[in-house]
Structures are given as structure tokens and as C-alpha cells.
Structure 1
Amino acid sequence: MKTGIGRLRKFDAVLARSGRLTLTKTPVTKLVREPKMPKSSRNLPTSGYAIMIDGLVKTEFATRDGVEIAARDLKRRFPMLQVKIYDAAAGQIVA
């Protein structure tokens, strides 16, 4: 026994032959792809430090103490976030 679209088409053809259904061609709509979200345009800083949350640069700081305090506070308030510190002078992620 067929299921799905093939079964419905066969059933529609039987009804159309018996005069109980009029088949009309309906325009086929094209599938439209949704545009992708643009990537973050925020670049890594050239000096100082930055907080990276879930891989995205959010805030820049001049001192290491300031960025560490802010990172600890964010991690305390939102433990599910992935919080890292980027050191621009070293060019690497510190924590």
C-alpha cells in the first residue's frame, strides 16, 4: 500500500475521472532561503585587553585588573557563558 504524496495523487486522479474533483494547476512557489546572520564586525583590539563572550569580543579594557574583575563578575552572574580574556599585546587568549 502506498503512502504519502503518491497515494494522494492517485486518489485525486480517480476523483477527477469520476467528475467529483476538478484538478487545476497551482503555481509552484520557489523556496526562498533566508539570509544568514551577518558575522560580528568587531575586530580584536590592537592594545589593552578585551572580554570575549562565547567567542565574540564584547568589551575592551585598558588594564588587566579591570578586565579580570569584569570577567569574574560576568561568570558569577551568568555561569553558562563562556568568558575569555584576550591580551592584545601578547596576541592570545589568556583565560
Structure 2
Amino acid sequence: MKRPTMQVEEIEPRTIQRADVAPADGFSLIVDGHFKTRHESEAAARAAGTELLGRFPMLQILVYDAATRVRSPLK
């Protein structure tokens, strides 16, 4: 007896973010020297970093601005 095959409509390509390559646009969090999440605005990146720092106070977190290539510490 044959099993019915499932048809996949469309598979969306995954966006893979490498931790050793700086992003080209937006703002990113740098956690202990590795690029992590990407955000559209600096306020969103700082809010996410503050929340992460509240849960894990031992981390070193920086906010990276891709347009100016500046890393600023989270205070």
C-alpha cells in the first residue's frame, strides 16, 4: 500500500546570521563578543539588551550600530 505524499507549497529560505560577521544594517546586540539578535532601531536593541542584562547580570552586552560601525556599552 502506498502512502500519500505531502506536497510542500513553498519553503521560505532561512536567514542565517553568523556570529563572526558584522551585520550590514540595523542594530545588533553583541553578547560576550558575539553578534546576536538584530533590531531595526537602537531603542529596541537597548530594550532587549536591558532585559537580557536583568536576567543575566554577568554578561557583557554592547549595542552595535551597523551604519556607523560603532559599538556602545549598555548602561
**Fold match by TM threshold 0.5:** yes
Alignment of 1:1-95 (within 5 A): 42-95=20-73
**Runs of 5+ in structure 1 lacking a partner?**
1-39
- The structure with more helix, counted as a fraction of residues: 1
Residue 41 of structure 1 and its aligned partner are, at CA, apart by: 5.1
Q: Which runs of 4+ in 1 moved over 4 A?
A: none
Percent sequence identity over matched residues?
32
CA distance in 1, matches of 2:28, 2:51: 14
Query: What SS is found at the alignment partner of 1:93?
Result: strand
Larger relative contact order (CA 8 Å, sep ≥ 6):
2
Q: Structure 1 pair 73/51, CA: closer, same or farther in 2 (3 Å)?
A: same
- The structure with more strand, counted as a fraction of residues: 2
Residue 42 of structure 1 and its aligned partner are, at CA, apart by: 3.9
Q: Structure 1 pair 41/68, CA: closer, same or farther in 2 (3 Å)?
A: closer
Residue 70 of structure 1 and its aligned partner are, at CA, apart by: 0.2
CA distance in 1, matches of 2:56, 2:64: 19
**Runs of 5+ in structure 2 lacking a partner?**
1-17
CA distance in 2, matches of 1:93, 1:52: 8
Over the aligned positions, Cα root-mean-square deviation in angstroms equals 1.4
Structure 1 counterpart of 2:71, which letter? I
Residue 44 of structure 1 and its aligned partner are, at CA, apart by: 0.7
Q: TM-score, normalised by structure 1?
A: 0.55
